[in-house]
């Protein structure tokens, strides 16, 4: 039984074939596009659960395609690109990419990112109580428990944790987090963010120096898993 439709927009035939084999072996239905024009058309006609998008397309920049898709497509877009510079990653994530992987990629990691994306797509907006291992977070009552013991968080710490939880599996850039929690004009205060992430890790992680949940994406931001 097919789990979901996945659209691959990539101009490299060997990459499209590799992704087809990998995805179909995991029961996903694969749709191919070799350029931006074809990809946008297929996205509109099929409304796939996930789009895997290359940035180096022959007819249009992948960044432009991403922005165009984000004007109407609200499901997951995973960037898969040879571009591994920090500015490309941050630009894509700030423009609405759900995730970013660089080529060459590991199949197991790609599948994990896809599963996380689909979980976000299908999760109900009225879920107010979520659990990650020993952590239980009540998003309405603002109560956090670890092994059933209440953890005391400040309002800012809770808001930061809630933002992570609602975006489980997604890379959030420093600028995005700062804007969401502290507002426009705070996007350069990355040291401020590091301090709050550090205190939050001390309260929810078993080992704050080797966190299980709040993972640092070097130079880019954080991912909650």
Could you tell me the domains of the chain?
A: 5-122 (3.40.50.2300), 129-224 (1.10.10.10)
What rounded mean pLDDT belongs to the chain?
89
How many Cβ atoms sit within 10 Å of the Cβ of residue 104?
A: 8
Q: Are 157 and 196 within 8 A, CB to CB?
A: yes
| Those residues with Cβ within 8 angstroms of residue 56's Cβ, 6 or more apart along the chain or in another chain | 11, 62, 81, 82, 83
Strand partners, 80: 101
Both tokens assigned to 178: 């700062």
Contacts for 43 with CB less than 8 Å, ≥ 6 apart: 7, 51, 69, 73
Q: What pLDDT sits at residue 119? A: 77
pLDDT on residue 129: 82
Q: Is the pLDDT of residue 146 over 60?
A: yes
Tokens 């060997």 belong to which residue?
14
* Measured torsion, CA atoms of residues 112, 223, 31, 71, in degrees rounded to the nearest 10: 160
User: Measured at the alpha carbon of residue 166, what is the angle toward residues 161 and 168, in degrees to the nearest 5?
Assistant: 90
Given this model, what pLDDT does residue 187 score? Answer: 67
Q: What is the pLDDT of residues 154-190, one digit of tens each?
A: 989 999 999 998 888 888 999 889 988 888 777 677 8
Rounded-to-integer distance, Cα 126 and Cα 123, Å: 9
Q: Binning pLDDT at 50, 70 and 90, where does residue 37 land?
A: very high
- pLDDT at 60 exceeding the cut of 70: yes
Q: What is the pLDDT of residues 94-145, one digit of tens each?
A: 888 989 999 888 899 999 889 888 877 766 445 678 888 888 998 888 889 9
- Cβ atoms of 117 and 98 closer than 8 Å: yes
What pLDDT is stored for residue 122 in this prediction? 66
Q: Using alpha carbons, select from 140, 137, 164 the residue that is nearest to residue 150.
A: 137
Residue 172 is classified by DSSP as E
Mean pLDDT of 60-76: 91
Distance CA 125, CA 123 (A): 6
pLDDT in tens, 127-139: 678 888 888 998 8
Query: Confidence band (pLDDT; 50, 70, 90) for 45?
Result: very high
pLDDT of 1 reads: 43
| pLDDT, position 184 | 72
Q: What is the SS3 assignment for 56? A: strand
For 22-29, what is the mean pLDDT? 93
Taking residues 194-213, report their average pLDDT: 93
Q: Which helix (H) or strand (E) holds 97?
A: none
């Amino acid at each position: 039984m097919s789990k979901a439709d996945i659209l691959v927009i990539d101009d490299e035939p060997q990459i499209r074939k590799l992704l087809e084999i990998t995805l179909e072996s995991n029961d996903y239905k694969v749709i191919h596009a070799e350029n931006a024009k074809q990809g946008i058309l297929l996205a509109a006609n099929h409304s796939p659960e996930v789009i895997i998008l290359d940035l180096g397309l022959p007819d249009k920049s992948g960044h432009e395609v991403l922005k165009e898709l984000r004007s109407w497509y609200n499901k997951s877009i995973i960037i898969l690109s040879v571009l591994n510079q920090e500015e490309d990653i941050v630009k894509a994530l700030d423009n609405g990419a759900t995730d970013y992987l660089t080529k060459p990629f590991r199949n197991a990691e790609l599948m994990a990112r896809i599963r996380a994306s689909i979980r976000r797509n299908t999760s109900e907006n009225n879920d107010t109580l979520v659990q990650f291992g020993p952590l239980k977070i009540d998003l309405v009552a603002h109560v956090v428990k670890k092994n059933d013991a209440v953890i005391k968080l400040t309002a800012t710490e809770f808001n930061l944790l809630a933002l992570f939880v609602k975006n489980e599996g997604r890379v959030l850039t420093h600028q995005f987090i700062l804007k969401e929690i502290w507002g426009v004009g705070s996007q350069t205060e990355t040291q401020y963010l590091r301090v709050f992430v550090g205190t939050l890790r001390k309260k929810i992680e078993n080992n704050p120096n080797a966190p299980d949940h709040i993972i640092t994406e070097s130079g880019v931001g954080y991912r909650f898993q």
